Amino acid sequence: MESIIQVRTLGELRQAGYRSRSVKDEMRENLIEALRQGRPLFQGIYDYEDTVLPQLRTAILARHNILFLGLRGQAKTRLARQMIELLDPFIPAIDGTELPEDPFHPITPQAQALIAEMGDDTPIRWISREERYTEKLATPDVSVADLIGDIDPIKAATLKLPYADPRVIHYGLIPRAHRGIFVINELPDLQPRIQVALFNLLQERDVQIRGYKIRLPLDIQFVFTANPEDYTQRGTIVTPLKDRIGSQILTHYPRTLEAGRRITQQEAAILPSQKNHIQVPEMLVQAIERMGFLARESEHIDAKSGVSARLTISAYECVVAWAEQRMLINQETQTTVRPMDIYAAIPAIAGKVELVYEGEKEGIQAVALYLCHRALKEEFLAHFPPPDKFKRGSQPNPYQPIIDWFTSGNQLNLSRWMPNLAYINELKRIPHLQRLVESLHLPGDPYPWMELVLHGLADMSMIGRTLSEKEISFRDILGELLSQKEEDEEEDDD
């Protein structure tokens, strides 16, 4: 390849033995070679190995145009962008023409005239695979002129040509994507009359501009993305267009916590300085990921709208940033993310979910807070014995000394901004708490685990928990109930 890209004329290209291929044949043959060599493709795409990727490879081998159908945040656009891996590193094109035309198969009068005039001396340029990818977000204001082109009256007047002559066309995005991949995101948002204009391009390969039918045998791999909810809300994919798309591939959200974690860790924009100074316990990485799964199962959140993978990505970034903020305020050089830092994810959750009627009644803050509590509870139960199994008295309850400490009238206040040493000393006030954590040989620092136990007991209604903007207080559950009753009475008096 390095030697052939030195070629600069059509004659040299013939002598080099270059073979022209359609873009779909090129992708098919490169995929076959990659599969035979066992070369990895679509890296950074997780949990699609047995579902989406086999269907995508099948569509490419079948030389189909493709529609990725799925809810938001399911890597549809990322898949489309990574399809350039199956293009040749460089391909030749006629130099001096408006479109990237095959030197052996020119499609415009301009290129045909240039070759007729210069023959083997026709100049050649080389196009990289990245230049052959074009992406357009469908919006209601997209026009036929944007996508296909329009008649240029100035060009027609200058060249003294009729409007029916292809030479007077100003080409749109699709012709300029000739010999490449053209992606239209959110296809249903495209107006039906604009979708109709794509019919012939997909099959007959001719276009109609301003009432003139013009033969333009474009060579394009079309990829479309769509959200199934759009079919009933914002728009629809017209049936004849769907019929001309060879393969419709359904995408999905991560099905396992591990797959979700890998996506979050890969995509989260965590700076090296944050990684060097902030430690995130493994159990909190898991808890943050659980929030995405819990949101998709929540009866308060619209499942049809979907819960994007960006929820957990943004939540992780917020939690790390909160811990960094506390570290800087306290003029510390190192810190560890604490379970209570998970509440910093509430702003990330609030902007990424659509609530159903029941959720609207609760309010987005309450729904987001519930997801945080539930994620901590599930992480607690994943590492500690369930407290309710000790209620029968058949075996000693390891949580009883902790519960008794609160029942005796003690209260623990954890400021959301307290320095590391103060945080540790406050947790050590509770007898048996550290002993319980150390008896289970849990990895890492014991203090986040100790706080997690308190959240777990609060979620199991064994101790009380009050959350404010400044701190979290743990107390006896009866005292918590009385305090809540007093607050309600004061509100009623007001």
Please spell the DSSP secondary structure of 54-68, one letter per residue: HHHHHHHHTT--EEE
CATH number given to 4-250:
3.40.50.300
Give the model's pLDDT for residue 201. 75
207 bridge partner residues: 214
CATH 1.10.8.80 for domain 255-383 = yes
Structure tokens at 20: 């022209």
Give the model's pLDDT for residue 407. 92
Cα(97)–Cα(108) distance, integer angstroms: 9
Cα(290)–Cα(312) distance, integer angstroms: 9
Q: Is residue 481 scored above 80 in pLDDT? A: no
User: In residues, how long is the chain?
Assistant: 494
pLDDT tier, 211 (very low <50, low <70, confident <90, very high otherwise): low
pLDDT digits (tens, 9 = 90+) for 8-39: 999 999 998 899 999 999 999 999 999 999 99
CB atoms closer than 10 angstroms to residue 205 = 14
- Would you say 458 and 467 are in contact if contact means Cβ atoms under 8 Å apart? no
Q: For 472, phi and psi rounded to 5 degrees?
A: -120, 130
Higher pLDDT, 199 or 98: 98
pLDDT digits (tens, 9 = 90+) for 422-469: 999 999 999 899 999 999 999 999 999 999 999 999 999 999 999 998
pLDDT digits (tens, 9 = 90+) for 266-325: 999 999 999 999 999 999 999 999 999 999 999 999 888 889 999 999 999 999 999 999
Give the model's pLDDT for residue 480. 57
Give the model's pLDDT for residue 493. 55
Q: What is the mean pLDDT of the chain?
A: 89
Q: Is residue 222 scored above 50 in pLDDT? A: yes
Give the model's pLDDT for residue 232. 44
Q: Which helix (H) or strand (E) holds 277?
A: helix 272-277
The alpha-carbon radius of gyration of the chain (Å, integer) is: 31
pLDDT digits (tens, 9 = 90+) for 61-109: 999 999 999 998 899 999 999 999 999 999 999 998 989 999 999 988 8
Give the model's pLDDT for residue 484. 57
Q: Which of 299, 317, 286 lies closest to 353, judged by CA?
A: 299
- Would you say 83 and 23 are in contact if contact means Cβ atoms under 8 Å apart? no
pLDDT digits (tens, 9 = 90+) for 346-357: 999 988 888 988
- Alpha helices (H) along 132-268: 144-147, 153-159, 173-176, 192-196, 199-202, 239-244, 257-267
Give the model's pLDDT for residue 486. 54
**In this prediction, what percent of the chain has a pLDDT beyond 70?**
91
Give the model's pLDDT for residue 207. 66
Q: Which residue ranges make up each domain of the chain? A: 4-250, 255-383, 386-494
Structure tokens at 411: 């209260």
Cα(473)–Cα(471) distance, integer angstroms: 7
3-state SS string for 346-368: HHHHHCCCCECHHHHHHCHHHHH
